[in-house]
Amino acid sequence: MIKFKAPFAAVFWTFGLAIPFTFIALAGVAYVDLHFSEIALAVLSFEQAVTAGGRGFVAEFAQRFPEILGMLIGMIIIFTIYLFVRQPAESAIRQKK
């Protein structure tokens, strides 16, 4: 007799979740395919409404990217220094005990 490694409930719930979400994904792809130009125009009008001067998100991000990059590099440097300083300090504390 063959013993099943996966219980029936696991297989049932896998298919029970996979099949409906597959249909939802297919319906979403069909909707986006039919209405892509309307979606793109809505996104563009939203970008122009909420950004400074109506330039859009790409122009805003490109303008602010050097500041963001500088902050990230600075945080990485500070964290690296912290890690290198912390290790000798911990070993010195252990030696005193």
| Residues 38 and 11 occupy one common structural domain | yes
Structural domain span for residue 16: 7-50
pLDDT in tens, 3-38: 666 688 888 889 999 999 999 999 999 999 999 999
| Residues 74 and 45 occupy one common structural domain | no
| Residues 41 and 13 occupy one common structural domain | yes
Is 2 among the domain residues? no
CB 54 within 8 A of CB 48: yes
Is 93 among the domain residues? yes
Residues 6+ apart with CB under 8 A from 39: 32
CB 60 within 8 A of CB 51: yes
| Residues 59 and 38 occupy one common structural domain | no
Phi, psi of 2, rounded to the nearest 5 degrees: -90, 130
Instruction: Give the pTM.
Output: 0.47
Residues 6+ apart with CB under 8 A from 68: none
Distance, C-alpha 20 to centroid of its chain: 25
Average pLDDT in the 68-86 region?
93
